[in-house]
Structure 1
Amino acid sequence: MTDWTSLYASRMAGVVGSDIRERAKLLDARQIIHLGGGLPDPEIFPYARLAQASAAIWADPARARTALQYAPSEGHGPLREWIAGHMTARGVPCTVDNILITNGSQQGLDFIAKLLLSPGDTAMVEIPSFIGALRAFDAYQPQYVGLPEDAEDWADPALGGAKFCYVGPDFRNPTGTTMTLAEREALLDLAERTGIAIVEDGCYEDLRYDGAPLPSLIARAVARHGSIESAPVLHTGTFSKTVAPSLRVGWIAGPAEAIRKLVLIKQASDLATSAFNQMLLLDVVREGLGDMIAEACRVYRGRRDAMLATLARVMPEGVTWTEPGGGLYIWLDLPERIDATLLSQRALAEHHVSAISGAAFYPKGAANVTPRHNCLRLSFSMIGAEPARIGVERLAALVREMMAESAVAA
């Protein structure tokens, strides 16, 4: 029999499964209260708009033929034009040459890593970091270094040598926190001083519930350098959080030279993103994106507020959490003596509550990073106020129980 293990490429030794994707398999278990996964709520998907747009495509023989054919590797031209206009309106003047359509922003992160990383190269990532980005980067065998938490440390002359720095500046996954304008400028200073690229994950930037929007890193870079062609930023965007994730339509925006190389990677990977999905999406977002964003913000804002209120009411002293101004996540810091991995396991087994241990969001082997064992990520996107209340109450009771157990053990 074939020994498949002996045939695997060396990079597979560092490829591990996603705890979040494993938990997603439990979504059909109705007795489980899901406080962990950050999937968009299908209750707010634009079913009527999508059905109308689909019918219009099939009613037009010429458009139907286009929809069922391979799309260009760069993406459906009219959608790229729309995204270029969308980016331009947000302070990033660009053309279709600066846009590549991807199968969701996750594919964009994978392509960027493939473009920039050789085995042993250094990737800088924010700490903690989006687990999907870490898993995409892992396949290219980088060394990791953590972006220091305090922006004052970004001026350290020793902080260099990385190929890129990955950040999600708005309502980060997993913490829900947002980079200030001063931090964005400081990160661009770091890029200019060291020559590294910035990989900006913009997937949550439209889900803002409080305050005024801040300019993206790519917008600030263009303002500094005068053109996207001189900006040291590759920006990934997606419609998964504002329209529907199953369409798998995202994009990379950046200098045309880098986009041309990324197109070659796209050609070798899957040739093209579905033409039908791109055409369908374009018809929907042309007139309705603003309404869809507003509806998502209305729903998620209410759920965030409900979860924050319950946390404030039931969590014991010594537990703190972030209060995100948008996005889908709340980050809990538990007392040092609480192991969040054990807590999440017990929460699922004993209380039918699913939560994600914070340990999953740390890169492997980063010399300047010590993974924290006492953090937990919660999400309010898929759960109404009442089940969230029950789930958080159960979680709080377990925290109290484990605090008591650790006190006795001490």
Structure 2
Amino acid sequence: MLDWEQIFATRSSRMRASEIRELLKLLDQPDIISFAGGIPDPALFPDVAFKEAYSDIFSSAQVGSALQYSVSEGYKPLREWIARDVARIGIDCTPDNVFITSGSQQALDYLGKLFLSPNDTALVTWPTYLGALSAFNAYEPNYDQLSLNGNRTPEAYRDTAAKTGGAVKFAYLSADFSNPTGETIDLAARERLLALADELDIAILEDAAYQHLRYDGEAIPPIMALDIARRGGIENTRTIYSGSFSKTLAPGLRVGFVVAAMPVIRKLVLMKQAADLHSSTINQIAIEHVASRGFDAQVAKIRAVYSKRRDAMLAALDKYMPKTATWTRPEGGMFVWVTLPEGMDGAELLAKSIATEKVAFVPGKAFYADGSNANTLRMSFSCADEAMIDEGIKRLGRLISSAIRAAA
């Protein structure tokens, strides 16, 4: 028998199955109340608008080009729409600064490939988005904890990277309603990050997948907008902004984007040409149709629903969780992050929860680059109604309280 492990590239040893992808299989079990998948509610998809968009495409002279190969940069009218949309939040750019990807996950993969050589260091928040770690892992980096409170010097980051045989290449973070914690980085911390990146001469990868999902509180300018304001234009910035239509319109169409200075865009285009040539043309055209005709109304609709579910989850946590547990109170997004008493293990709790209470969530240690903090959980409220949320948190609170008593 052929020993495949002997001929796989060394990077393959760092590939791991996504715990979240595996947990999504539980959504097919009708007796499970799931807070696991950070996915949008399909009942809120603008399906009628997409039906009209595809119908228009197939009934027009555009159908030939929609089904044909296309440019690697992406469908120009869609890039023009994105440039106008991000301008509303202070990111002044041209369509040439916009690059279309097959979902924002592909953007993370390309950016990891672009910046990371083996043993280079990526600065990430603790915890951070699991999908980013999965994307970067293929390029064999080391990880260091990104501190946003200014208590680490640039020299400390450089020294740590040098000891592991590489250099610091970028800082990755989600500034608004992050996955997994739901937290938002304040203005002062964004400014400190820009100063740190200047000192280290590194890129900032700003993951803005949840940018449009603010339910309350005051909006804070994106890091890229602050960078542009500092430097007088996008071509002088070190921030790379990535976004997606997955959380607002439809994840199944796999349309994401990157906004960056032209030297970065040109390299990404070359990667696209070598990988999959271009993202689905017809899906890009359909996204542009739907976004142009009703994006703001769609965002308003999902905000109204998700904000109520967020409120329901926070109220249920207040009502049913033991006092020794703590949790975040997000102003937007799809997640609440729960911290349990030290010594508890989220993975063990999940196994008991599935078996006895029929409630699913994501154990938190998967979101830490070093696999620490096992006493944490990620809870998503996007796909459960208020009644399900109340019942699910009631069951989970009962289980956690029991586990705490047993350990006492």
Q: TM-score range by the shorter chain?
A: over 0.9
1:367 aligned partner: none
1:304 aligned partner: 310
SS at match of 2:242: strand
Structure-2 separation of matches of 1:299 and 1:196: 39
Structure-1 separation of matches of 2:143 and 2:153: 19
The answer (yes or no) to whether the contact 1:175–1:330 under 8 Å persists in 2 is yes
Structure-2 separation of matches of 1:300 and 1:253: 27
1:266 aligned partner: 272
2:156 aligned partner: 158
1:395 aligned partner: 396
The answer (yes or no) to whether the contact 1:333–1:374 under 8 Å persists in 2 is yes
Structure-1 separation of matches of 2:44 and 2:286: 17
* Alpha-carbon shift at residue 2 of structure 1 (Å): 2.3
The answer (yes or no) to whether the contact 1:154–1:186 under 8 Å persists in 2 is no
* Alpha-carbon shift at residue 157 of structure 1 (Å): 3.6
1:56 aligned partner: 56
The answer (yes or no) to whether the contact 1:348–1:354 under 8 Å persists in 2 is yes
Name the amino acid aligned to 1:308: L
Matches within 5 A, 1:214-293: 214-293=220-299
Name the amino acid aligned to 1:43: A
Structure-1 separation of matches of 2:100 and 2:349: 40
Structure-2 separation of matches of 1:309 and 1:96: 43
1:374 aligned partner: 375
* Alpha-carbon shift at residue 154 of structure 1 (Å): 4.5
The answer (yes or no) to whether the contact 2:154–2:200 under 8 Å persists in 1 is no
* Alpha-carbon shift at residue 337 of structure 1 (Å): 2.7
Name the amino acid aligned to 1:176: G
2:198 aligned partner: 192
Matches within 5 A, 1:9-408: 9-60=9-60, 62-148=61-147, 150-155=148-153, 157-160=155-158, 161-364=167-370, 371-407=372-408
Structure-2-length-normalised TM-score: 0.96
Structure-2 separation of matches of 1:401 and 1:90: 47
Name the amino acid aligned to 1:112: L
SS at match of 1:153: coil
Structure-1 separation of matches of 2:395 and 2:100: 43
Q: What RMSD in Å do the two structures reach over aligned CA positions?
A: 1.1
Gaps of 5+ in 1: 365-369
* Alpha-carbon shift at residue 156 of structure 1 (Å): 5.2
Provide closer, same or farther for how the CA distance between residues 187 and 154 of structure 1 changes in structure 2, counting only shifts above 3 A: farther
Alignment identity in percent?
44
Structure-1-length-normalised TM-score: 0.96
Deviation per CA, 1:121-177: give whole Å up to 9, x if none: 1111011000000000001000110112x5131445423441000000000110000
Deviation per CA, 1:296-321: give whole Å up to 9, x if none: 10010000001111110111110111
SS at match of 2:338: strand
Name the amino acid aligned to 1:115: L
Name the amino acid aligned to 2:140: Q
Gaps of 5+ in 2: 159-166
Runs of 4+ deviating beyond 6 Å: none
Deviation per CA, 1:264-290: give whole Å up to 9, x if none: 111111111000000000000012110
